């Protein structure tokens, strides 16, 4: 399990607006504190967010966070819940459960009523509110982990902390009963709030209060980190000198790993981009083909010499052109190549798989130049990834239900209905030593009549479709490009070795 402290500051953060104190003007980045939140990555790789405050956007962008699997809320205050709207960009593809006390979830429902209505607009987060129980019903299973709520008081407000395996996370606490505090026993890592060093506060505890609580545990945690610190607390380096080695101030971006009962601070690995993206615009097929071959050859040379490979995703539109794969049947070209050239079409025989297809303006053609070994992918799984990415785009952005056809690559509509079955995206790939070139062609706004001059992809009287045809109007190709790049980026990044 890994725990990343996304924010360790109190409700006003540090620096505080309009303040000239030493903490707010410290040069130590550990003294700059966003509002309190943490990300837990379980052994199975599931990502559980604890609280989602108004700084979530900044925290998530800094971490390059592209997925959350669940959210645990400690209470309903602004600094712990007012970032929930910012999860919508990563929570519209699948349901995102949010756990908390019923009172807390009711406040979320009221404030974000637009996310729970009968007719949500496209892009609305798919939030599912799940109340936690009390007493014997309080612990619950989440992705194979037992989540134990710990009930405590934030002044006069009842709130919760959470025990997840070797981690206990408590924030905004003023008081806790001995029975609830006993749930912390056996924790390896305790993250707990301390507003300032000793001056009392009506709803938060101090550092000295934390030290007193720890003295009542038969076995202290291996490491206790302080969070929800205000600018009135000593500076980070001062706290380090005041406290024992097993009690330290946490800081934003701190990552702690819990392995086999041992707790260790570990650095976050640098973010690794899955590919370099290039939008080539409208380009002649021969020019894009030459660029592909150059990039492809460079990656093969790098692999041969044992150097790291690079990955690219090229998007473009082509001038009208027909291309034939290396195993294509010439009978599927219903007019002679010379006739097609006389009519203004280019014609090429290329090294990709698949049969004959057409490319033209308004069609989005994608050429991923990837080292599949870097993504732990075989060729079949890679083609499935391309297909599922297009299916996701069509379903969630354009409300077009698409699927796969047995014995054929690409993405299809109304599969199984001979009268209506039609292809919307063709796929043809070349691979050598697990490096790919060529790719896919998605019909967006393009004229479909040139497909009548061929048996598309070898299917006699094969029907084709486009996004514009299905939705009844031309669509913004820039939006299609950006959304599909985002989907491919997420899916390929997930295939890289885990960052955390």
pLDDT above 90: residue 215: yes
User: Tens of pLDDT along 405-436?
Assistant: 998 899 999 998 988 999 999 999 999 999 99
Angle at 106 between CA 105 and CA 108, to 5 degrees: 65
Instruction: Tell me the average pLDDT across 199-225.
Output: 96
Instruction: Tell me the average pLDDT across 178-201.
Output: 96
pLDDT of residue 326: 86
Sorted by sequence, the CB contacts under 8 Å of residue 411 that are 6+ apart come out as 387, 390, 391, 394, 402, 403, 404, 423, 424, 425, 427, 442
pLDDT above 60: residue 339: yes
Angle at 61 between CA 56 and CA 62, to 5 degrees: 100
- CA proximity to 222, closest of 169, 264, 275: 264
Q: Please state the φ and ψ torsions of residue 392, each to the nearest 5 degrees.
A: -60, -45
- CB 33 within 8 Å of CB 225: no
Sheet holding 2-7, edge to edge: 127-131, 96-100, 70-72, 47-50, 37-41, 2-7, 255-259, 262-265
Instruction: Tell me the average pLDDT across 180-193.
Output: 97
Instruction: Tell me the average pLDDT across 18-28.
Output: 96
pLDDT of residue 333: 85
Catalytically annotated residues: 457
**More confident position, 222 or 326:** 222
pLDDT of residue 122: 67
Alpha-carbon Rg for the chain, nearest whole angstrom, is: 28
pLDDT of residue 390: 98
Exposure on the CB side of residue 38, measured as CA atoms within 13 A: 35
Q: How confident is the model at residue 499 (pLDDT cuts 50, 70, 90)?
A: low
pLDDT of residue 318: 97
pLDDT of residue 4: 98
Q: b or e along 326-362 (b: 16 or more beta carbons within 10 Å of the residue's beta carbon)? A: eebeeebbeeebeebeeeebbbeebebbbbbbbbbeb
pLDDT above 80: residue 88: yes
Sequence spans of domains, the chain: 2-265, 276-495
Provide the sign of the torsion angle of the four alpha carbons 275, 276, 281, 282, taken in this order.
negative
- CB 83 within 8 Å of CB 55: yes
The CATH code of domain 276-495 reads 3.30.930.10
pLDDT of residue 330: 84
Range from 23-27, 45-49, 71-75, 453-457 carrying the lowest mean pLDDT: 453-457
pLDDT of residue 82: 97
Counting residues of the chain whose pLDDT is more than 90, the rounded percentage is 83
Pairing of strands 223-227, 247-249: parallel
Q: How confident is the model at residue 460 (pLDDT cuts 50, 70, 90)?
A: confident
Instruction: Tell me the average pLDDT across 165-186.
Output: 97
E strand or H helix that includes residue 130: strand 127-131
Instruction: Tell me the average pLDDT across 309-332.
Output: 92
Which pTM does this prediction carry? 0.88
Range from 25-34, 329-338, 442-451, 455-464 carrying the lowest mean pLDDT: 455-464
pLDDT of residue 276: 97
Counting residues of the chain whose pLDDT is more than 70, the rounded percentage is 99
Q: Do 2-265 and 276-495 show the same overall fold?
A: no
Q: How confident is the model at residue 497 (pLDDT cuts 50, 70, 90)?
A: low
Q: Name the β-bridge partners of 250.
A: none
pLDDT above 70: residue 500: no
pLDDT above 70: residue 468: yes
CATH, domain 2-265, list 3.60.15.10, 3.40.50.850, 3.40.50.10140, 3.40.50.1220: 3.60.15.10
User: Tens of pLDDT along 96-146?
Assistant: 999 999 999 999 999 999 899 888 776 788 899 999 998 878 999 999 999
- CB 238 within 8 Å of CB 269: no
């Amino acid at each position: 399990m890994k725990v990343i402290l996304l924010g360790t500051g109190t409700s006003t953060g540090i620096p505080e607006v309009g303040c000239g104190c030493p903490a707010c003007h410290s040069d130590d980045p550990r003294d700059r504190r966003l509002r309190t939140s943490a990300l837990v990555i379980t052994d199975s790789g599931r990502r559980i967010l604890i609280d989602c405050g108004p700084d979530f956007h900044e925290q998530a962008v800094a971490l390059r966070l592209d997925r959350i699997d669940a959210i645990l809320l400690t209470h309903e205050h602004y600094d712990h819940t007012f970032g929930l709207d910012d999860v919508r960009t990563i929570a519209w593809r699948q349901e995102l459960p949010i756990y908390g006390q019923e009172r807390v979830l009711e406040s979320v429902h009221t404030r974000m009523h637009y996310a729970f209505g009968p007719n949500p607009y496209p892009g609305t987060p798919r939030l599912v509110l799940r109340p936690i129980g009390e007493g014997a019903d309080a612990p619950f299973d989440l992705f194979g982990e037992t989540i134990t709520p710990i009930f405590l008081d934030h002044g006069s407000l009842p709130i919760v902390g959470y025990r997840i395996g070797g981690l206990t996370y408590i924030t905004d606490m003023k008081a806790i009963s001995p029975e609830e505090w006993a749930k912390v026993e056996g924790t390896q890592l305790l993250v707990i709030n301390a507003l300032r060093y000793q001056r009392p506060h009506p709803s938060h505890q101090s550092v000295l209060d934390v030290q007193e609580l720890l003295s009542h545990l038969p076995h202290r945690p291996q490491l206790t980190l302080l969070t929800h610190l205000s600018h009135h607390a000593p500076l980070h380096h001062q706290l380090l000198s005041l406290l024992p080695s097993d009690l330290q101030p946490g800081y934003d971006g701190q990552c702690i790993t819990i392995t086999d009962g041992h707790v260790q601070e570990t650095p976050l690995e640098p973010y690794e981009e899955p590919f370099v993206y290039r939008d080539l615009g409208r380009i002649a097929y021969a020019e894009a083909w030459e660029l592909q071959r150059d990039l492809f050859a460079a990656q093969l040379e790098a692999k041969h010499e044992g150097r790291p490979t690079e990955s690219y995703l090229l998007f473009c539109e082509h001038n009208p052109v027909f291309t034939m794969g290396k195993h294509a049947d010439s009978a599927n070209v219903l007019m002679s190549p010379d006739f097609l050239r006389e009519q203004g079409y280019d014609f090429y025989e290329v090294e990709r798989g698949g049969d004959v297809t057409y490319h033209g303006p308004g069609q989005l053609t994608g050429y991923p130049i990837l080292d599949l070994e870097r993504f732990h992918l075989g060729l079949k799984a890679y083609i499935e990834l391309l297909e599922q990415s297009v299916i996701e785009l069509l379903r969630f952005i354009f409300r077009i239900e698409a699927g796969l056809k047995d014995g054929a690559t690409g993405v299809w509509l109304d599969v199984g209905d001979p009268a209506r079955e039609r292809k919307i995206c063709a796929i043809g790939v070349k691979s050598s030593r697990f490096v790919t070139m060529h790719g896919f062609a998605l019909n967006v706004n393009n004229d479909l009549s040139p497909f009548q001059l061929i048996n598309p992809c070898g299917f006699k009287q094969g029907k084709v479709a486009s996004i514009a045809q299905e939705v009844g109007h031309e669509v913004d190709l820039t939006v299609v490009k950006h959304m599909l790049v985002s989907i491919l980026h997420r899916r390929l990044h997930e295939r890289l070795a885990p960052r955390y």
